[in-house]
């Protein structure tokens, strides 16, 4: 039996001696306990985050008033640093694609106090909804504009804080309903027993003069259909034809609405493909 008297010997020397006696090698330093992370630094001023609902903002044709178009939205103001303050100003500006002003509105302390229920002070970490609206006239050739919301806050520590949210105001863009993204549509029969039946449907736009429907195979030079002046929110393709194998994949469609002889923005494209020929043929 080996007895080791430590006395004033260091723990590292003793451990080395034991390892040497046991035939085990020892190199390097003993592991040390990691330092705990420093505590988070508290914020020095308030922070506000802005968002809009809906997004993008819908423009509708006004039924009265001096402006032919109007838009309504809700501004959500969140204080994210846990420091309160007085909300002093909210401003909305609408510009066209070239930056020219279309409209502006501003809510001061009095209006904000009314919207917030009797005072313009917001508590740290809180969230508030502020209804807003604009009346305006779109440019003659475009039915959308760029919206910028600016909010100013004087926090409880004497700091001036501001935040900006950018969005779009646009005339109604139709929502594509059917067929779904990636759907497989009907094909015809080489024996002539039946052709193709494709049915497309989209949401109505209030006040729309007409719709334009566009359908194309991506590698084709010309669309299969480009139909303006549709007065219903649907389009049906019923033709005695067969889509060849090399043209089954890569189809897409889109729709836009027209107001007062001006076309709005296109809907997002939706893709589909076609089933192989002779998939559901009937005997003539």
Measure Cα distances from 190 to 186, 275, 278, 282 in Å: 13, 13, 7, 11
Q: How far apart are CA 196 and CA 238, in angstroms?
A: 6
Report all structural domains of the chain as residue ranges with CATH numbers, in order of start.
48-171 (2.60.40.1470), 176-274 (2.60.40.10)
Q: Residue 78: pLDDT above 70?
A: yes
Reported confidence tier of residue 10, pLDDT bands at 50, 70, 90 = very low
Inter-residue contact 139 to 133 (CB < 8 Å): no
Omega before residue 275 within 30° of 0, cis: no
b/e per residue 141-169 (b: at least 16 CB within 10 A): ebbbbebebebbbbbeeeeebebebebeb
b/e per residue 29-62 (b: at least 16 CB within 10 A): eeeeeeeeeeeeeeeeebbbebebeeebbbbeeb
Ranges 62-66, 133-137, 182-186: which has the least confidence: 62-66
Q: H/E element holding 14?
A: helix 11-21
Residue 254's nearest CA partner among 264, 232, 269 is 269
Q: What's the confidence (pLDDT) of residue 66?
A: 77
- Higher-pLDDT residue of 104 and 65 is 104
Report the SS3 class of residue 122: strand
Backbone torsions φ then ψ of 133, nearest 5 degrees? -155, 160
228-260 per-position pLDDT tens digit: 999 999 999 999 999 999 999 999 999 999 998
Instruction: Return all residues near 126 (Cβ < 8 A) that are at least 6 apart.
Output: 78, 79, 84
> What secondary structure letter does DSSP report for 82?
S
Q: How far apart are CA 200 and CA 181, in angstroms?
A: 12
Measure Cα distances from 133 to 91, 120, 149 in Å: 11, 19, 12
Reported confidence tier of residue 131, pLDDT bands at 50, 70, 90 = very high
Paired tokens of 49: 């985050």
Q: What is the 3-state secondary structure (H, E, C) of 23-46?
A: CCCCCCCCCCCCCCCCCCCCCCCC
pTM across the whole model: 0.74
Q: Is the dihedral of CA 13, 15, 21, 27 positive or negative?
A: negative
């Amino acid at each position: 039996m080996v007895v080791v008297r430590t006395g004033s010997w260091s723990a590292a020397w003793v451990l080395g001696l034991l390892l040497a006696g046991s035939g085990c090698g020892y190199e390097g330093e003993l592991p040390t306990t990691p330092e705990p992370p420093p505590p988070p630094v508290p914020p020095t001023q308030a922070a506000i985050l802005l968002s809009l609902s809906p997004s993008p903002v819908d423009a509708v044709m006004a039924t009265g008033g001096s402006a032919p178009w109007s838009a309504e939205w809700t501004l959500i103001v969140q204080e994210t640093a846990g420091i309160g303050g007085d909300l002093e100003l909210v401003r909305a500006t609408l510009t066209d694609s070239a930056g020219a002003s279309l409209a502006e509105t501003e809510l001061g302390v009095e209006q904000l106090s009314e919207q917030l229920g009797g005072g313009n002070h917001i508590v740290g970490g809180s969230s508030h909804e502020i209804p807003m609206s604009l009346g305006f006239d779109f440019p003659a050739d475009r039915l959308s504009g760029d919206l910028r919301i600016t909010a100013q806050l004087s926090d409880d520590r004497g700091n001036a804080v501001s935040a900006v949210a950018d969005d779009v105001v646009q005339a109604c863009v139709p929502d594509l309903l059917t067929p779904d993204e990636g759907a497989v549509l009907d094909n015809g029969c080489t024996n002539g027993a039946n052709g193709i039946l494709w049915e497309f449907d989209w949401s109505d736009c209030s006040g729309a003069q007409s719709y334009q429907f566009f359908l194309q195979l991506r590698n084709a030079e010309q669309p299969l259909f480009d139909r303006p002046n549709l007065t219903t929110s649907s389009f049906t393709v019923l033709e005695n034809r067969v889509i060849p194998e090399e043209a089954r994949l890569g189809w897409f469609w889109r729709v836009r609405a027209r107001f007062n002889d001006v076309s709005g923005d296109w809907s997002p494209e939706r893709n589909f493909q076609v089933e192989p020929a002779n998939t559901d043929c009937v005997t003539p």
